[in-house]
Chains A and B, each alone.
Chain A
Amino acid sequence: MATTTKTVGTKQAKRERTSHATNWGRGFIVKLILMMAIDALGVYGLLATWQTDQMGLFAGLAVLLVAANYIYFARRTLPLKYIYPGLAFLLVFQLFVIGYTFYVAFTNFGDGHNVTKPQAIEALLQQAERQVPGTNAYPVAVVEKGDELGLAVVAQDGSTCAGAVAGDVCLGTAEDPLSVVDGATVANGRPTDVPGWQVLNLQQIISRQDDVADLRVPVSDDPEDGSIRTPDGTNAFEFKSTLEFDEATDTMVDTATGTVFHPNDRGQFEAEDGTRLPVGWRVSVGWENFSTAFTDARYAGPFWRVLAWTVSFAFLSVATTFLLGLFLATVFNEPRLKGRKIYRTLMIFPYAIPGFLAALIWSGMLNRSFGFINQVLLGGAAIPWLTDPWLARLSVLGVNLWLGFPYMFLICTGALQSLPDDVLEASRVDGASAWRQFRSIKMPLLLVSTAPLLISSFAFNFNNFTLIYMLTRGGPRFADASVPIGHTDILISMVYSVSGLDGTAAKNYGLASALSIVVFIVVGTVSAIAFRQTRKLEEVM
């Protein structure tokens, strides 16, 4: 140990002398150019996130950028120079999203609770905006820059837009509230020319009628000040919200009826009589999503059945493909057999077919009324391969066997060929039969070398979404479940249905994330136990 430390020490000294972290060689120039490009992109990103007010992204990006510059210009960070690119992606798109899944699992994030509270308040105020009765219509010009529409009006007094005096022109867009513009010309009380903007004529307004009618230009940053809108493109009206948010008491008041709405702990404003305002915000709901998954009759029943099927599917997939692969590998591990190479090349064809294609092709072949299997191989039978619960499960396993056996065949062949000849020879001399040899020598050795691959295969099939979704879409549906989950659904496809991202159900990110975490835990535990076991296997050998 001591000698290694010493050599490492001298190595480090030498490396520091020869390091080109900051010399002016060719490599350094390349690095400098790359870093300049990355920094330019990064600074652009920082500006963009700052402008759109996304502080979380801003902070994350800043940390990544500073770290990149430090790592590539310091001398002492050699290993990180190699690890960092992959690490950066890993941090954002794997570790962060896993962490974020945990956060979402404890909220009611989903339809009706999509945003933060301030955003929900703003949306509510906007939705409740009505034209203020008794206010004058004032002439307006619809203006355009690029693709962005805006409204320009002549200020009556200071209330039209901040800092304006009567006669000033105020301009605003959907994003930016009204503000004074200089140098605009006005004719007949209507702006006719605004620098930097093109004033639309009647024809252009008609051609973009819907966009113009939908355009809402806020009067100021405060949503309670309301907005101006123009239904016809010539006259603008003031709109004000019928709701009012009182920050001091944290309540919404309906100015028309006087009803007071208090925020409840579900992330919605609720009145005394139980009526709620439509837009809610996401709040923490503790373990509720988990208890829904395990105890709510709508989810708990299907959940346990899906879990049981997922485990059996993953296990049986590995077992069937491994056994067939091993059998074929043993059969063809015979040097005296002619044409071995041709058999082998043809047999592993399915391995080179992308899984989604195979599933789609088989879904056609297994079609009940037109499929090849029923029509040709079974002479016109009408077997519901994909629509009967048990047959559908059998079909899924059968298709996966077709897809997976070549891989097992390949690794078993590799493992068989690397078995130590001397051990086999010795057993033969001792008079062991072929079967005895297989059972006591080949099989244990084979399991040691293929066990890690079998475990990864199990983990892969545990989440083999593509196969299930493309072949059966999880169907046939459970007859007694109110959620769209079926007999061949595995956990991940159940999560997909529950999340509502496929558009078939209301979105429920919270519950979906909670289910994802359950899957994480199951997969993690199984892999951990399995890896421990394989280490034991290796020790025994």
Chain B
Amino acid sequence: MSGQTTRVDTQEIIEAENQKLRARMKPGRYLREIGWRHVIGVIAVVYALFPIVFIISASLNPGGTMTGSNRLFRQVSFENYAALNDTRFWQWFGNSLFISITTAVGTVLMGAAAAYAFSRFRFTGRRIGLTALLIIQMFPQMLAFVAVFLLVRTIGMAFPSLGFNSNLTLIAVYLGGALGVNTFLMYGFFNTIPVSLDEAAKIDGATHTQIYWTIILRLVAPILAVVGLLSFITSFGEYILASLILPSQHEWTLAIGLFNWVSDQLNANWGLFAAGAVISALPVLVLFQLLQKYIVGGLTAGSVKG
């Protein structure tokens, strides 16, 4: 933490010096060293944003045809948003949120617990366990979707609530991938927390659960945020398993529902899709903005270690 503050401080100092420098810089040199970067910046921002601007404009365009939405912001009305109420959109939205939030929480809890065990305890099979996780990581669960489908069909015969058309089934399937994907990322981060902290707490009489919940988990909060966010994004946009497990319309997630609107080829749905897309993008966008400061650090820290 202190390292970061010093860096910010030095940056501020540099910034101040630059101001002085810039004032003295000749236009030619400014253009050569700094100015062209603004040109590229503007191009990059336009490139990054124009599809987003386009879809927002389309969502506000009444009538809802694709051709009509090509002239940006020709008309502004909330007709499409209101029309969403006559569809199953909000149901799908709710399903998606429920599934993704539960998966994210479950993933963080289970992954962090496993990472804690691998990072802090020395036990027989630890090395093998870590190696196994590294190998499992290479085989995405999604690839076995045929087997997942058959397994769910079998389980559903015994417990309908864990069969097709149940959100719980999909969550359970997603949680199956939790350990394989995230433990390594977390393990690397857990290792950066000094063990002396645990030992000090242990001397004070703390149990391993107390150490885990009150000390370690707070210190690794950034990586928990990153893993939670990544897990949320992954399950929010997952299509193949979701579409196999949730065949009936009112159990669909947003990915299935919006895909069906677009692939209907009836271009009349376009405005409806655009409004739905804007709303669907919001949860991830909000989460992303909230957690942005953790993301860069979290993304690089764990994996470089592993």
Chain A residues engaging chain B, CB cutoff 8 angstroms: 8, 14-15, 18-20, 27, 45, 48-49, 52, 54, 56-57, 78-83, 85-87, 89-90, 92-98, 100-101, 104, 109, 328, 331-332, 334-339, 343, 346-358, 360-365, 367, 370-372, 375-376, 402, 406-407, 410-411, 413-415, 418, 449, 452-453, 456, 459, 463, 465-466, 469-470, 473, 492, 495-496, 499, 501, 509, 512-513, 516, 519-520, 523-524, 527-528, 531
Q: Given that A104-B146, A336-B34, A357-B280 are known contacts, is A463 also in contact with B18, CB under 8 Å in the complex?
A: no
Shortest Cβ gap from A282 to chain B (Å) = 11
The answer to whether A97 touches B110 (Cβ under 8 A) is no
Q: Which of B41, B202, B233, B306 is the most central at the interface, judged by chain A CB atoms within 10 Å of its CB?
A: B41
- Is B55's CB within 8 Å of the partner chain A? yes
CB neighbours of A27 from chain B (8 A): 207, 209
Residue from A89, A328, A519 within 8 A of B178 (CB atoms): A89
Residue from A360, A370, A523 within 8 A of B70 (CB atoms): A370
State in angstroms the CA–CA spacing of A519 and B143 once bound together: 8
Q: Given that A82-B117, A513-B147 are known contacts, is A332 also in contact with B37, CB under 8 Å in the complex?
A: yes
> Looking across the interface, which residue of chain B has its beta carbon closest to that of A30?
B209
Residues 106 to 121 of chain B near chain A (Cβ within 8 Å): 109-111, 113-114, 116-118, 121
The answer to whether B147 touches A104 (Cβ under 8 A) is yes
The answer to whether A365 touches B176 (Cβ under 8 A) is no
Give 20 A-B pairs besides A98-B147, A357-B280 with Cβ atoms closer than 8 angstroms.
A8-B122, A27-B207, A82-B114, A82-B121, A83-B113, A86-B111, A86-B183, A335-B15, A336-B33, A353-B284, A354-B255, A356-B255, A360-B258, A361-B277, A372-B54, A465-B142, A466-B238, A466-B240, A496-B145, A501-B244
State in angstroms the CA–CA spacing of A162 and B73 once bound together: 77
Shortest Cβ gap from A199 to chain B (Å) = 28
Chain B residues engaging chain A, CB cutoff 8 angstroms: 11, 14-15, 18, 21-22, 33-34, 37-38, 40-41, 44-45, 47-49, 51-52, 54-55, 58, 65-67, 69-71, 109-111, 113-114, 116-118, 121-123, 126, 129, 134-136, 138-151, 154-155, 157-159, 172-173, 175-180, 183, 202, 205, 207-209, 212, 233, 236-240, 244, 255, 258-259, 262-263, 267, 270, 273, 277, 280-281, 284-285, 288-289, 295-297, 299-300, 303-304, 306
State in angstroms the CA–CA spacing of A48 and B110 once bound together: 27
CB neighbours of B18 from chain A (8 A): 335-336
State in angstroms the CA–CA spacing of A57 and B259 once bound together: 34
The answer to whether B158 touches A527 (Cβ under 8 A) is no
> Looking across the interface, which residue of chain B has its beta carbon closest to that of A370?
B66
The answer to whether A364 touches B66 (Cβ under 8 A) is yes
State in angstroms the CA–CA spacing of A348 and B142 once bound together: 27
CB neighbours of B49 from chain A (8 A): 346, 349
